[in-house]
Structure 1
Amino acid sequence: MGWIYLLLAGLAEMGFVSLLKQTQGFSNPFATVGFLGCAGLSFWLLTKAADSIPVTIAYPVWVGIGAVGALLIGALLYGESMTLTKLLFSVLLIGSIVGLKFSS
């Protein structure tokens, strides 16, 4: 169950990352509430995951999911460039996340 919590925590992190720009410095109340809700949910799910997964594994996996998610969100929603270098390092990051999962 811990890995499900961790995956959901990573997806919630992607949610607050996608809303970060839309908060406009926390002046947009709807985006700010969504951001804070996703952030709170993400951290709560991370703590639930850490009940059964060592934090030395859970935290880097959570960060990795968020980092790859941020790259995808930036490219898909905000038209940011997806260079070959970004793609390469994203693949390496995903490989590292999978490696951490299998090492625990």
Structure 2
Amino acid sequence: MNWVILIIAGLFEVGFAYCLGKAKQTTGNEMYFWYIGFLFALFLSMTLLIKATQTLPIGTAYAIWTGIGAVGTVLIGIFVFKEPATALRIFFLCTLIVSIIGLKMVTVE
């Protein structure tokens, strides 16, 4: 169950990065709503990470959490914010995904 919690925590990390990107594109009250979304997603992400690390090794959990956040944020950047999807960028994104899966496979709970 804590692996599922960790994945959800990583998705909320993607959420707070998305909110930062949207806040950068807006002004006025809308910008503040995105910053509130950032704080909400940050709070949930950290709370779930803390919960997951109660039974998972901290090094593995943190690496997987940041990896999910990094992969998700790059994908959001490519698909939502129209950042370039170069061959090298995709290659390194794939190596990151393989590394996340590898950490999960070798972790003993």
Bin of the TM-score, shorter chain as denominator length: over 0.9
**Equivalent residue for 2:8?**
8
Q: TM-score, normalised by structure 1?
A: 0.94
Distance 2:56 2:11 in 1: 17
What is the number of residues matched between the two proteins?
Answer: 104
| 1:9 aligned partner, one-letter code | A
Is 1:74 aligned to residue 77 of structure 2?
yes
SS of residue in 2 equivalent to 1:81? coil
| 2:70 aligned partner, one-letter code | A
SS of residue in 2 equivalent to 1:44? helix
Distance 1:60 1:26 in 2: 34
Q: Which has the larger radius of gyration?
A: 2
Distance 2:82 2:57 in 1: 36
CA deviations on 1:37-85 (whole Å, 9 max, x unpaired) are 0011001110011011100100000010011111100011110001111
Unaligned segments of structure 2, at least 5 residues: none
Q: CA RMSD in A?
A: 1.5
Q: TM-score, normalised by structure 2?
A: 0.90
Distance 2:99 2:67 in 1: 8
**Equivalent residue for 1:52?**
55
Map of 1:21-40 to 2, 5 A cutoff? 21-24=21-24, 28-40=31-43
Identity of aligned residues (%): 41
